[in-house]
Amino acid sequence: MTETPPEPAVTVKPPSPENMGAELSIALNYLTRFNFSFKEAPRPRLIRRSMVWFPLIGAAIGLCGGLIDWIMTAMRMPAVITATAAVVGMLFFTRALHEQEFASLIDHYGSGKDRPETVGWLKEERSVRSGTLGIIIIIILKIGAIASLADNALVFQTLIVAGAWSRALMVVAAAWLRPIAGDPVADHFQQPPAVRVVIALAVGVLIAYAALDEDTATTLTAGSLAGLIVALVAANHLRGYNGALLGTLQQVVEVTILGVILALQ
């Protein structure tokens, strides 16, 4: 009589190709202007797991920006033009999602101070919202940093790392903070599983080391600290996370990485 071998304490079931395709489509629908349709609404479990693809999609977005910069440089355009084209291209590819979310959070913070009675002795209404000014500043910082990088190869490396790591930290924030009820993004993604968070971080680190090699630890540490500050400050104000917080975190981490690599070159 043969004994039945005991079942393992922990079983790991690899995702099916159908589930992987659905997860990737969900992530692409959110992070880019692609719009994949589904025969039926994706299951909440697939939506939460889809965040594992964020770093890969972020790296692809950065790669597109670097490619645009390279093409414009080959056309002998000045650095400020090539950098502007790269930023505009990424804005188009992502439909300016995170920039809009960044502006939304800035407006949310500024709304308490921009009431007519606190603007000044003239009691005038402001025609330009704080979020609009925030977007202008963040875009200028990106263009200036990209234009100041030494060469096209470094632009490729920097944009890939910034795109991947900033979106990997979005996954961490979503898992760490409580989703705010009623927010479309928080209601959609909720909190990703811990295993997927670890995988997303690992993918982000591998992409960064493959792209940069040198100074990777310094760059990722600086980006992580910037993301932590955003998460702590905004979460203390919002009491959780929403789309605006995730978008703001992505923008701040991306600009931080651009600045750090610029300083280290």
Q: 78, 190 in Cβ contact below 8 A?
A: no
List the Cα angle 173/43/20 in 5-degree steps: 75
Taking residues 184-197, report their average pLDDT.
94
The reply to whether 7 falls in a domain is no
Compute CA 95 distance to the chain's CA centroid, rounded to the nearest angstrom. 13
What pLDDT was estimated at residue 216?
A: 94
Percent of the chain with pLDDT strictly greater than 70: 86
Residue 62 has pLDDT above 70, yes or no: yes
User: Residue 184 above 90 pLDDT?
Assistant: yes
The mean pLDDT value of the chain amounts to: 88
Residues 255 and 159: beta-carbon distance below 8 Å: no
How many C-beta neighbours within 10 Å does residue 74 have?
10
Q: How sure is the predictor about 217, in pLDDT bands with cuts at 50, 70 and 90?
A: very high
**Type of residue numbered 59:** A
Residue 41 lies inside a defined structural domain of this protein: no
pLDDT above 50 for 241: yes
pLDDT of residue 118: 45
Positive or negative CA dihedral for 37, 89, 221, 150? positive
Q: Which domain range does residue 190 map to?
A: 54-264
What pLDDT is recorded for position 100?
92
Tell me what pLDDT residue 117 has: 45
Q: How confident is the model at residue 263 (pLDDT cuts 50, 70, 90)?
A: very high
The pLDDT value recorded for residue 220 is 97
Asked whether the beta carbons of 28 and 36 are under 8 A apart, the reply is yes
Asked if residue 220 belongs to a domain, the reply is: yes
Give the span between the Cα atoms of 224 and 165, in whole angstroms: 8
pLDDT at 112 (0 to 100): 53
Best-predicted range by mean pLDDT (29-33, 106-110, 212-216):
29-33
Confidence of residue 20 (pLDDT cuts 50, 70, 90): confident
Q: For residue range 151-183, what is the model confidence (pLDDT) as tens digits? A: 999 999 999 999 999 999 999 999 999 999 999
Which structure tokens are listed for 23? 């997860």
Confidence category of residue 36, pLDDT binned at 50, 70, 90: confident
Within-domain flag for 143:
yes
Whether 97 shows a pLDDT value over 70: the answer reads: yes
Is the pLDDT reported for residue 74 higher than 90?
yes
Q: Is residue 231 part of a domain?
A: yes
The amino acid at 44: P
Residue 120: pLDDT band (50, 70, 90) is low
Q: What is the mean pLDDT of residues 201-226?
A: 94
Residue 223, domain member (yes or no): yes
What is the reported pLDDT for 260?
97
32 within a domain of the structure (yes/no):
no
Residue 153 belongs to a domain: yes
Res. 2 pLDDT band, cuts 50 70 90: low
Q: Given the structure tokens 């921009």, which residue do they identify?
A: 114
Burial of 185 (0-12, 13-18, 19+ CB in 10 A): buried
Question: Using 50, 70 and 90 to split pLDDT, how confident is the model at 11?
Answer: low
Number of domains into which the chain is organized: 1
Supply the pLDDT for residue 83. Answer: 97
In the predicted structure, residue 81 carries a pLDDT above the cut 90: yes
In whole angstroms, what is the distance from residue 70 CA to residue 52 CA? 29
Output the pTM of the full model.
Answer: 0.88
